[in-house]
Amino acid sequence: MLLHMPLGSIYSLRQSLERFSRLPIIEVENREPLQQGFIFSLPPGRSATFSRGVIEVDAGIPDRPLSTINHLFKSAAQNYYDRVIGVILTGLLRDGTEGLRAVHEAGGLTMVQDPREAEYEDMPSNAMEGLPVTFCLNVAEIGSALELLVRRTARFETGLAVAVRTLRDRAALLVRLIDQSSRNPGTREFLSNELTSLRREVQSIDELVKASLVKHA
């Protein structure tokens, strides 16, 4: 992740991200090997390049951080082609537009925050004027959209499968708790009600999946 910040700024992107994400965050000071399941943040005012599975902070320091996002996206597109998803959020001026164009031309996906809700609409608006952006979403939708879209190029258990498995595991745990709560009738009743509700949720998901399969058959 990259933000437009003055060089030497003490702003910590990591501290902000840690409030909202459970993924480990690596601050790239020089170069780091890319790893699945991590967030990489860059120093204020700097950009980076990708090469052979490594992200490396640029040695050169730009006079103004007005093309750092373009540079980052172009490097990602040159190295990872259609596996890239470029995302532009709120911001001033035009940085990111040409970078998203490189991502688009390499076969990757492009995404912007809906300018109507952005604090500063310049960057997402300019991107949408300059190229056919794949997705325009509210910021609250972007995280979930990315979680779904990364499945295009990697094998992950689907979100629905995870949800069903999690519910079934929870139901199995509730059964064990109920079996061991005979000495506490109030707790046993509470757990039994929870199990009944959970089974209804699992049934609703199963019915939803079946209806969707019929609809798209």
Greater model confidence, 73 or 164: 73
For residue 158, pLDDT over 70 is answered with no
Using H for helix, E for strand and C for coil, what is the string for the chain? CCCCCCCCCCCCHHHHHHCCCCCCEEECCCEEECCCCCEEECCCCCCEEEECCEEEECCCCCCCCCCHHHHHHHHHHHHHHHHCEEEECCCCCCCCHHHHHHHHHCCCEEEEECCCCCCCCHHHHHHHHHCCCCEEECHHHHHHHHHHHHHHCCCCCCHHHHHHHHHHHHHHHHHHHHHCCCCCHHHHHHHHHHHHHHHHHHHHHHHHHHHHHHHCC
Return mean pLDDT, the chain: 86
Domain match, 137 and 195 both? no
Range of the domain at 29: 13-152
For residue 210, pLDDT over 90 is answered with no
Strand partners, 56: 31, 49
* Count of structural domains, the chain: 2
Residue whose token pair is 């990259």: 2
- Nearest-angstrom CA–CA distance, 31 and 69: 17
From 152, 181, 207, give the residue that closes a domain.
152
Domain match, 127 and 37 both? yes
Greater model confidence, 105 or 157: 105
Assign 211 a pLDDT band (cuts: 50, 70, 90): confident
Share of the chain above pLDDT 70, in %: 90
Q: Is residue 6 part of a domain?
A: no
- Nearest-angstrom CA–CA distance, 66 and 147: 29
From 152, 177, 201, give the residue that closes a domain.
152
Prediction pTM value: 0.72
